[in-house]
Amino acid sequence: MSWSMIVSLMGLVLGLMVVAANPSPFFGALGLVVVAGMGCGILTEQGGPFLALILFLIYLGGMLVVFGFSAALAAEPHPETLGNRWVMFYLAAYAVGLSLITAVFWGMWHWEYCIPSEEATGFGLSRGDTGGVALMYASGGGMLVVSAGVLLLTLFVVLELTRGLNRGALRAV
pLDDT tens digits, the chain, 173 residues: what are they? 678 888 888 889 988 888 888 777 777 777 888 888 898 888 888 777 877 888 888 877 777 777 777 666 666 666 777 778 888 898 899 999 989 988 888 877 766 666 665 665 666 556 666 666 677 677 777 887 888 888 888 878 777 776 655 554 555 54
pTM higher than 0.85, yes or no?
A: no
Phi, psi of 92 (to 5 degrees): -65, -40
Query: Would you state the pLDDT for residue 173?
Result: 47
The b-or-e profile of 28-67 (16+ CB within 10 A means b, else e) is bbbbbbbbbbbbbbbbbbbbbbebbeeebeebbeebeeeb
Helices 49-73 and 25-45 cross at an angle (nearest 10°) of 180
Q: Which amino acid type is present at position 124? A: G
Q: What is d(CA 80, CA 66) in angstroms, rounded to the nearest whole number? A: 19
Give residue limits of the domains in the chain. 3-126, 140-173
For 102, the 3-state DSSP assignment is: helix
CA distance 63 to 136: 24
